Amino acid sequence: MADVQSLVSRSVGRKPGFHHTENLLDGATGDAIIIPPLNGQPVTCTMRITGVSGKFQFTTSTDAIVASGTAVWQDWALGTVTANVSDVLLGAVTAVRGVSVSGTVDIDVMI
């Protein structure tokens, strides 16, 4: 069984939303962050780094496969980045995770 994390619920205006913030140490791959069914709400992923590098990965594997630790992960379209950057996922995903390629990075996931 793989470690997975859930998003924290937040209220903004009339639409419910979620967020997750995490600090990843040098070379660490974060646990899967489960993305709930969203009915078209965008998922924004932000990589905050200073003089190091990191990336996000996403999966469209089923929830059961993510929970079992055997999901197939793909790098986000921006690849490995070396400066603060955000990107919006263009399609539905079941989970995302941050990866520190080098140094300590911070990630934010916002819905």
Task: Identify residue 81 by its one-letter amino acid code.
Answer: V
pLDDT value of residue 22: 94
For residue 70, CA distances in Å to 4, 43, 74 come to: 12, 23, 13
What is the C-alpha separation between 82 and 93, in angstroms, rounded?
24
Whole-model pTM?
0.88
Please name every residue paired with 44 in a beta bridge, in sequence order, or none if there are none.
88, 110
Q: pLDDT tens for residues 2-36?
A: 677 777 776 666 667 889 999 999 999 999 999 98
Q: pLDDT tens for residues 25-71?
A: 999 999 999 998 877 788 999 999 877 999 999 999 999 999 999 99
pLDDT value of residue 62: 94
- Residues listed for the chain: 111
Helix %, strand %, coil % of the chain (to 5): 5, 50, 45
CB 76 within 8 A of CB 90: no
Q: pLDDT tens for residues 91-109?
A: 889 999 999 999 999 999 9
| Domain 4-110 coded CATH 1.10.3470 | no
What is the C-alpha separation between 7 and 50, in angstroms, rounded?
25
